[in-house]
Structure 1
Amino acid sequence: MTKVRHLLGISGGKDSSALAIYLNDLYPQLTIEYYSCDTGKELEETYTLVDNLQAYLGKKIDLLQAAENSHLDPFDHFLQVYGGFLPSSVTRWCTKKLKLDPFEKFVGDDLVISYVGIRDDENREGYISKKSNIQTIFPYRKNIWSEDVIQKVLQNSTKDIIAKFYEEEGILDSIKLERALKIVTTNVSPEFDRDRKLDSLLKVSIKAFNHVVFRFIKEFTNYPLSYLDKEDFPLLNNEDGLVREDVFRILRESGVGVPAYYEKREFEVDGKKGYYSRSRSGCYFCFFQQKIEWVWLYEQHPQLFAKAIEYEKEGYTWMQDERLEELAAEERRTQIKRDAIARASRQKKDSPYLLDLLDDAEGEGCAACFI
């Protein structure tokens, strides 16, 4: 039988960490390899989380580093290669060089199923490798399949095949089968697009849809999953659909704990109280940070903020509209805090974590870094 590797990347954030715990506890029969791409610029809490996870899982988490023979940290090595040109939301060389390249080197030409921690309450796809030997699965979601798989399965040209599979799998009772077949045989159109068709089929039965997709993969594709049997992939029967609240619950109940940088800290401006923290994992100088997170870094980790300033040379800055030296001014920090308090009051959420107050925080950034 052809060997297929099961891989899960640990970013140091809540979602990937909880996913490792979730899969370990629910599917101990899966032999999962864990890895983390170390940029050399992570917060110390990230390494603490990796240590806690290793203790819980009883397995080593491989630390992958780009430019492993360099005398510099991976980030500093490639910053030198790029002549001091800082990465940005437009030119994300850090993602490719520090995350994707080490991951794909780790994979090589092996057949791989990569488990990614994008939740059921998020509307994003995440990193999908262009290498045909890597297939991405999203265990938190009701739809565990990547967009490329869904496109193949729900083509109008395949509807008869999919209908046949629904009938032959024998999972649904007669009433649900009739509903599923009606949906399957309806063409995708502007009035009934692929997303709506997918959602309709999942509402009939997630389990039945998964089994049909798996059979399609086995018979008509060369995805890594096509080399496995049903009993080798127990997620076919999973119908959970996990959201943010579940992720925090898993981390707390396991004893691994929520990464400390998510915990909000109180500040006061004009007699009003506000809170700040980090909303994401990743490098301490990540250019996707919001202004209030930079203020958090300045006040909670001044030595790291000072290091981040040192990178701003020859016109290169972490933010397009402001240098860190300008943001560090007391008047500017006070205004950013005022803005954060005003924004939080509009959200009207009672949460111990900043990311619950900044709804768009998780929708930004590189999926390869933050999952």
Structure 2
Amino acid sequence: MTTQQPVRHIVSLSGGKDSTALAIYLRDRIPNLEYVFCDTGEELPETYEYLKKLEVFLGKPIIYLKARQSFEDMLKARGGFLPSGQVRWCTEYLKIKPFEEYIGDSLCHNYIGIRADEAHRKGYISSKKNIIAHYPFIEDGIRKEDVMRILEESGLGLPAYYKWRSRSGCYFCFFQQKNEWLGLLENHPDLYEKAESYEKENLDTGERYTWAAKESLKELRSPERKKMILEEHERRKAQLQQSRANLLLMDVFALEEDNGDSCLICHL
């Protein structure tokens, strides 16, 4: 006689504001809730610090999942071919596969922090039929202002990286805006240099593997280019603040380049 596997209830955490707010929102609503973070090993220090604070608030351990191979091992196996918005092998192998392996064949209800004001972002996280996606914020009409209230009332507030970055995810995320790359350079120059070391250029063919579109991180950090990027960011920020009173800095980041194609499991 086979023993029936228990039904599991899991919140997928990214270290970002929405999934954190969802974990808080569901903490006392769903019994036996699991909190899972797919750790690429390439996260910002602020992400780990924020997850530690969340763990204390939840009163329950967050389960950290890691891929069998590191990012660097995978990068070498691909001949230095960097992940990109078109080929997101980092998300597939460092986030989705470890999560699916952790679930196995159990029936799993997976709770995802997409808000009611961004319902269009529903998209692929896992294709396994035993993993059933739920969107409590969409169902309950929870919007960005509600998420901010949940975080403030919990005492957690926002992760520290929101001062210079619009989303969670790896420090080298290819969805970063160029002013955010400069934020990484200012706040974590060691990580910027590490990301820069992964870029490659074939002088014979002219083929380049770069994180940012059309320019390398070495080019992006040059004084002239840095000045242009920061001036453009300030110009856009002023325009947006003029049109929207009391606009938060994180809203400025998001409105400048709202990329609906970003990897959901990384950036909620």
Q: TM-score, normalised by structure 1?
A: 0.66
User: How far 1:241 sits from its partner (Å)?
Assistant: 0.9
Asked if 1:87 corresponds to 2:99, the answer is no
Question: Structure 1: which 4+ aligned runs deviate by more than 2 Å?
Answer: 126-129, 348-358, 360-364
Unaligned runs of 5+ in 2: 202-207
Quote the residue 2:136 is aligned against.
Answer: 139
Q: Is the 8 A contact 1:114 1:136 kept in 2?
A: yes
| Rounded Cα–Cα distance in structure 2 between residues aligned with 1:126 and 1:353 | 27
| Rounded Cα–Cα distance in structure 2 between residues aligned with 1:18 and 1:356 | 21
Secondary structure in structure 2 of the residue aligned to 1:85: coil
Secondary structure in structure 1 of the residue aligned to 2:64: strand
| Rounded Cα–Cα distance in structure 1 between residues aligned with 2:82 and 2:253 | 29
Quote the residue 1:270 is aligned against.
Answer: none
| Rounded Cα–Cα distance in structure 2 between residues aligned with 1:256 and 1:347 | 27
Q: Is the 8 A contact 1:347 1:357 kept in 2?
A: no
Q: State the AA in 2 paired with 1:125.
A: K
Asked if 1:345 corresponds to 2:245, the answer is no
Quote the residue 1:127 is aligned against.
Answer: 124
| Rounded Cα–Cα distance in structure 1 between residues aligned with 2:193 and 2:223 | 15
| Partner deviation per Cα, 1:218-251 (whole Å, 9 max, x = no partner) | xxxxxxxxxxxxxxxxxxxxxx311111112111
| Rounded Cα–Cα distance in structure 1 between residues aligned with 2:5 and 2:80 | 45
User: How far 1:361 sits from its partner (Å)?
Assistant: 3.2
Asked if 1:336 corresponds to 2:253, the answer is no
Quote the residue 1:278 is aligned against.
Answer: 165
Larger of the two Rg values belongs to structure? 1
Q: State the AA in 1 paired with 2:262.
A: G
Q: State the AA in 2 paired with 1:43.
A: L
Quote the residue 2:254 is aligned against.
Answer: 358
Asked if 1:369 corresponds to 2:256, the answer is no
| Partner deviation per Cα, 1:313-362 (whole Å, 9 max, x = no partner) | 24211123111111001111111111112212222242343344432435
User: How far 1:364 sits from its partner (Å)?
Assistant: 4.0
Residue from 304, 320, 326 that aligns with 2:213: 320
Q: State the AA in 1 paired with 2:54.
A: L
Secondary structure in structure 2 of the residue aligned to 1:35: strand
Residue from 300, 303, 311 that aligns with 2:190: 303
Greater displacement, 131-140 / 242-251: 242-251
Unaligned runs of 5+ in 1: 143-239, 264-276
| Partner deviation per Cα, 1:257-308 (whole Å, 9 max, x = no partner) | 3100112xxxxxxxxxxxxx10000001100001110111112221111111
- Superposed, 1:210-221 pairs within 5 Å as none
Secondary structure in structure 2 of the residue aligned to 1:293: helix
Secondary structure in structure 2 of the residue aligned to 1:281: coil
Secondary structure in structure 2 of the residue aligned to 1:9: strand
Q: Looking at both structures, which has the greater relative contact order when contacts are Cα pairs under 8 Å and sequence separation is at least 6?
A: 2
Secondary structure in structure 2 of the residue aligned to 1:258: coil
Relative to 1, partners in 2 of residues 1:108 and 1:312: Cα closer, same or farther, differing over 3 Å? same
Q: Is the 8 A contact 1:115 1:136 kept in 2?
A: yes
User: How far 1:127 sits from its partner (Å)?
Assistant: 2.8
Q: Is the 8 A contact 2:96 2:125 kept in 1?
A: no
Secondary structure in structure 1 of the residue aligned to 2:37: strand
| Partner deviation per Cα, 1:10-36 (whole Å, 9 max, x = no partner) | 1011100110001114x1x42211110
| Rounded Cα–Cα distance in structure 1 between residues aligned with 2:42 and 2:12 | 17
Secondary structure in structure 2 of the residue aligned to 1:33: strand
Q: State the AA in 2 paired with 1:47.
A: Y
Percentage of pairs with the same residue: 50
Secondary structure in structure 2 of the residue aligned to 1:140: helix
| Rounded Cα–Cα distance in structure 2 between residues aligned with 1:332 and 1:347 | 23
Q: State the AA in 2 paired with 1:100.
A: I
Q: State the AA in 1 paired with 2:263.
A: C
| Rounded Cα–Cα distance in structure 2 between residues aligned with 1:355 and 1:364 | 18
Secondary structure in structure 2 of the residue aligned to 1:113: strand
Q: Is the 8 A contact 1:119 1:242 kept in 2?
A: yes
Secondary structure in structure 2 of the residue aligned to 1:79: helix
Secondary structure in structure 1 of the residue aligned to 2:9: strand
Quote the residue 2:22 is aligned against.
Answer: 19
Q: Is the 8 A contact 2:67 2:94 kept in 1?
A: yes
Asked if 1:108 corresponds to 2:82, the answer is no
Asked if 1:32 corresponds to 2:33, the answer is yes
| Rounded Cα–Cα distance in structure 2 between residues aligned with 1:44 and 1:127 | 27
Secondary structure in structure 1 of the residue aligned to 2:145: helix
Q: CA RMSD in A?
A: 1.6
| Rounded Cα–Cα distance in structure 2 between residues aligned with 1:83 and 1:9 | 31
Quote the residue 1:43 is aligned against.
Answer: 44
| Rounded Cα–Cα distance in structure 2 between residues aligned with 1:86 and 1:288 | 13
Q: State the AA in 2 paired with 1:92.
A: R
